[in-house]
Structure 1
Amino acid sequence: MTRAVFTREDADTRRQALIEATAASLAEAGIAGTSVRAICMRAGVSAGLLRHYFDGVDALIAETYRATTATVGEAHAAAVAAAGADPRARLIAYVTASFRPPVADPALLATWLAFWSLVKTDAAIAAIHADTYRGYRGELEGLLSSCGLEQAQCRSAAIALTALVDGLWLELTLDPTTFTAEQASAMAVRWLDSLLEGNSLD
């Protein structure tokens, strides 16, 4: 009898299946309905396999948050890369990527709300949240600086812009009949133009 040889790819595939099942369960059932049993049934694996790869369901949820934030970060980075070399175009691309798939997705909203509900009660989730938003604001500060905004203004502008984008993203994904992605982008661009008015790239 030949014993199956499991590769690193097999392990990565199983881990990813568990992460995807967790995200789907959070979106559909929230924290209360996301258990080891629910995740494993969705992923088609045993509870023992989950515990083999993760130190329980809390650790898996934290890893799912990391994976979700990485997906969002990759979408923003791709948008900036596609915008070319112009600093204003790159800033606008970064900001408006939040209003297009895969970021503007009702399923992602449902999953994100589940993560947010844990920020005040779960130290691991709180740490990931803080790191994610610190990184997002840092990217914005760099893009704003490239557009000529004075360094002293960049931090407060990045905080305000993050709040604006989060609010528009939340409303857009909660009820896309309220306004369109194009309208959300236009509102954000008008805010940016007002902020950058009078700042020269020379």
Structure 2
Amino acid sequence: MTAVRQAFTRESADARRAALIDATAACLAQTGLAGTNVRAICKKAGVSPGLLRHYFDGIDDLVAATYQATSDRMDRVFADAVAAAGRDPRTRLSAYLTASFRPPVTDPELLGAWTAFWALARSDARMADIHANSYAGYRARLTDLLTACDAADAGRLAILLTAMVDGLWLELSLDATSFGADAAAEMIERALTALLPPQR
């Protein structure tokens, strides 16, 4: 009976933490940093302010946890895209890069949360660390995929392609009618054709 109770408590704690993180992401997306406070988050999560303080060391800790959770979720999206692409290195590379132009990465609410994270990363050391680690991980995985395609100077090319994907994603997020997801994917494909050795 004790083991069952402990498992239930642990699951409940994880669920409550997740609910607070989801509520924080939603607040950031809908009202930005200015409208994201303890009362708004707890109202959206349907919990009392005391519960937030029980699971997190204040709102700054919760926002950092939300950034980390959002980054982890995007990592899983990209990893799943590569896994679904099969074994061909070039196809896997394309899948990794163009996943940024499909849901859930193109969820309009993600832009609001992400811009808040970026703003905080400029002034908050913990947020800056999460940002740096997230982007370093993305580029490292991209470098591996480029290396599998025999790309020259794969590390620098990963930086270039990351910036290109970020720019296209931002434009799409700001205005989905600007050029469209298919056009964004096509631009990435044209860049890869120009930058990579011919396929054997």
Normalising by the smaller structure, the TM-score range is over 0.9
Q: Which moved more, 1:81-90 or 1:29-38?
A: 29-38
Match of 1:162 in 2: 162
Match of 1:125 in 2: 127
Q: 2:9 aligns with which of 7, 10, 13?
A: 7
1:70 paired to 2:69: no
Q: Deviations over 1:133-189 (max 9, x none)?
A: 000000110000000113xx1111000000000000000111011111111000001
Q: Report the CA distance between 1:197 and its aligned residue.
A: 3.3
Match of 1:86 in 2: 88
* Structure holding more helix per residue: 2
Q: Report the CA distance between 1:62 and its aligned residue.
A: 0.2
Task: Give, in whole Å, the separation in 1 of the partners of 2:21 and 2:107.
Answer: 18
Residue type of the alignment partner of 1:132: S
Q: 2:61 aligns with which of 59, 62, 68?
A: 59
Task: Give, in whole Å, the separation in 1 of the partners of 2:60 and 2:9.
Answer: 26
Task: Give, in whole Å, the separation in 2 of the partners of 1:37 and 1:126.
Answer: 26
Q: Report the CA distance between 1:104 and its aligned residue.
A: 1.1
Q: Report the CA distance between 1:28 and its aligned residue.
A: 0.7
**Secondary structure at the residue paired with 1:32?**
helix
How many residues are treated as equivalent by the alignment?
A: 194
Q: Deviations over 1:114-140 (max 9, x none)?
A: 111111111111000000000000011
Match of 1:178 in 2: 178
Q: Is the 8 A contact 2:150 2:197 kept in 1?
A: no
1:114 paired to 2:116: yes
Q: Deviations over 1:54-107 (max 9, x none)?
A: 000000000000110111111100000000000000000000000000111111
Task: Give, in whole Å, the separation in 1 of the partners of 2:82 and 2:192.
Answer: 16
Task: Give, in whole Å, the separation in 1 of the partners of 2:36 and 2:90.
Answer: 42
Match of 2:190 in 1: 190
Aligned-residue RMSD, C-alpha: 1.1
Q: 2:51 aligns with which of 19, 29, 49?
A: 49
**Secondary structure at the residue paired with 1:118?**
helix
Task: Give, in whole Å, the separation in 2 of the partners of 1:105 and 1:184.
Answer: 16
Match of 2:18 in 1: 16
Unaligned runs of 5+ in 1: none
TM-score where L is the length of structure 2: 0.94
Residue type of the alignment partner of 1:166: D
Unaligned runs of 5+ in 2: none
Task: Give, in whole Å, the separation in 2 of the partners of 1:130 and 1:113.
Answer: 15
Match of 2:30 in 1: 28
Q: 1:149 aligns with which of 134, 148, 151?
A: 151
Task: Give, in whole Å, the separation in 2 of the partners of 1:101 and 1:142.
Answer: 24
Residue type of the alignment partner of 1:49: L
Identity of aligned residues (%): 59
**Secondary structure at the residue paired with 2:177?**
coil
Task: Give, in whole Å, the separation in 2 of the partners of 1:32 and 1:195.
Answer: 43
